[in-house]
A and B are shown apart, each in its own frame.
Chain A
Amino acid sequence: MSTVTAERPTVRTAESGGAGWQGSSVFTQVMVFAGRSLRALREPRLLIMSLIQPFVMLVLFSQVFRGIANGPGFPAGANYIDYLMPAILVTTSTQSAMGAGAGLANDLRNGVLGRFRAMPVRLVSVLVGRSLYDLVRNTLQLGILLVAAAALFGFAPAGGVVGTLCALALALFVGWGVSWVLIALASWLRNVEVMQMVGFIAMFPLMFASSAFVPVGGMPEWLQAVARVNPLTYAVDASRGLAFGSATASSVVGALVTSAALALVGGALAARGIRRP
C-alpha cells in the first residue's frame, strides 16, 4: 500500500514579502482598511452617541460650573467658555482614542484579523487604516463641538479663527498620538472590556488632575504637584495658548514632540503585537 503525500503549497503573503507577491501597494491597503472602518460613519447614530458625553460636559461646565471663573488663579478678563473649550477639545480627542483601542480589540476578538492574515496584506496597514478612521471621526466630532460652542455658548477666544483651528489641530494630533498607545495595548490585550476599563482608569484622573477645568493654582498643594507632571496639562495649556493667541513655541513643540513619541512607540509595539497568532 503506497502512501500518497501531498505537498502543501507555500502561500506568499505580504508579511513574508516573497518574490511571488503581486498585491496592491501599502498605501492602497491602508486606504481600503480606512474605508472599511469609515463605513461605520454611514450610521450617524454612532457619531451622535459619541458626542453626548462631551456635549453634556460642555453644557455642565460652561453653564452650571461657570462660577469656576471667580475662583483663585483664573486668568483675568477671560470668559470661562473660552478657557474651557480648548480643554474640551483635548480631553474629547484623548477619550476618542479609547474608542480606537476598543474598536481594534473588538476586531481582534471577533476573528476579522484571522481572515486578513489569510490575505496578501501587511497587517500594519490594518492598524494605520484604523488610526486614519479614528482621526477622521475625531475631526468630525471636534468640529461639531466647536460649532456648537461658538453658536450656543459664545465661544470666541482672543486668538480668533486661526488660533481656534490651530488648537483643534493640536488636539487632533495629541489624540492621534494617544490612540497609538491604546492601539498597541489592544493588539496585545485583545479584550474589549479590559480596554474600556484601562481607558477609564487612565483617563479619569488624567482629565481632572490637570489644568483642563480649573487653574492648577486653585488646587490643594498635593494635587498641584500631580497636575504639574500630568502630560494632559501640557497639551491643554498649549491648546489654550493657541486659542488665546498667547502660545509659546516651547509649549506647542513640547506637546507635538510628546504626541509624536507616543505614536512612534505605540506604533512599534502595535506592529509587534498584531503579528502574534
Chain B
Amino acid sequence: MSTPSYALRDSATMLRRNLRRMLRYPSMTLMLVGMPIVFLLLFVYVFGGALGAGIGGVGGGASGRAQYVNYVTPAILLMTVSAAVQGTAVSVAMDMTEGIIARFRTMAIARVSVLTGHVIGTLIQTVFSLVVVTGVALLIGFRPSAGPAGWLAALGVLAALTFALTWLCVALGQTSKSVETASNAPMPLVLLPFLGSGFVPTDSMPTGLRWFAEYQPFTPIIESVRALLSGAPLGNNLALALGWCAVIALGGYLWSKKLFNRESA
C-alpha cells in the first residue's frame, strides 16, 4: 500500500471519529444550526420592514420584508459557515488539551489525517447546516430565481469558503490554551458579514466603514452567492471570492501544519 493510500485510509478513520463525535454530542450541531436561524428570523421579522425599505427602492413593512429576505439570506448562509467552523476550533482545542493527540502521535498513522478528519467532518456538517437554514429561509419567503446550475455554483462557493475557514479554525484551535478561548477566537468571522454587504448595501454606510466593507474578503463572497442565487450578473466577484478562499485556505493549512509539527517536535 502506497503512502497516499495510507494517508487516505487514516483520514477516513479520523473522519469517522469526528462524525461519531457529532452524532454523540448533537447539542453542539443544534447550537451551530440554531444561531443562523435565530439571526435569519430576527433580521427578517424585526429589522426586515425597516431595512428592506432601503433596498431596491421598495416601501417598508411587508413589501420591504419580502424584498429583504432575498437580500439577507446569502449573508445568513455565510454566517452558517462561520458558525460551523467555530465548532471546529472548539473540537480541535478539545483534542489538543485532552491529550488524545499525544496518543495519536505514538501510533503509525499519517500525521495530516488528524487535521484532515476535522476539515472533512466540518464540510459535511456545514452542508447539512446549509440545507436546514436554506429550508427555513424558503419557508419564510426566500424566493431565489436560480436554476440547478446556479444552486450548485452557490454551494460550491460556500463549500470553498468552508474549506478555507476550517483550515484557519484548525490553526486557531491549536493556538488556543483552552476550549473557552477556542470558542471565542473565531468570533471575528461571525462579525465580518455584518461589516460587509451582508445585511445592508455598502453605499448606505459611512465613508470609512464603506471602504472597509468593500475591500474585506466576505463582501465578494456574499455578492457571488447573492448573484448566483438571484441570476444577477456576477462581475468580478466570483474571481475575487475564489481568490480569497484560496489565500485563506493556503494560509490556514500552512499555519495548521506548522503548529501541528511544532507540537510534536
Chain A positions within 8 Å of B, measured between CB atoms, are 56, 60, 63-68, 70-72, 74, 204, 208-209, 213-215, 218-220, 223
Contacts and interface: CB of A to CB of B under 8 A. Distances in A.
Interface string B59-80: 1111011000000000000000
Contact of A67 (B42, B61, B195, B204): B204
B60 A71 contact: yes
Given A65-B199, A220-B65, A71 B45 contact: no
A214 B206 contact: no
Given A70-B53, A74-B50, A64 B45 contact: no
Interface residues of B, number: 25
B45 A223 contact: yes
Given A67-B200, A68-B50, A71-B64, 6 more contacts: A64-B194, A65-B47, A67-B204, A72-B53, A208-B42, A213-B47
A78 to B, nearest CB: 14
Interface in B159-195: 191, 194-195
A214 B60 CA distance: 12
Main secondary structure of the interface of A (DSSP, over half): helix
Interface in B46-62: 46-47, 49-51, 53-54, 59-62
B49 A72 contact: yes
Contacts of B124: none
Contacts of B59: 72
Contacts of A66: 204
Q: Which of A68, A71, A208 has the most CB of B within 10 A?
A: A71
Q: Which of A67, A204, A215 has the most CB of B within 10 A?
A: A67
Q: Which of A60, A65, A66, A209 has the most CB of B within 10 A?
A: A65
Contact of A63 (B47, B49, B205): B205
Contacts of A218: 49-50, 60-61
B209 interface: yes
A219 B47 CA distance: 8
Contacts of B194: 60, 64
Contacts of A64: 194-195, 199-200, 205, 209
Contacts of B204: 66-67
A137 to B, nearest CB: 21
A70 B50 contact: yes
Contacts of B45: 219-220, 223
A20 B254 CA distance: 72
14 contacts: A56-B191, A60-B194, A66-B204, A67-B204, A70-B60, A71-B50, A72-B50, A72-B64, A214-B47, A218-B49, A218-B60, A218-B61, A220-B65, A223-B45
Contacts of B60: 70-72, 218
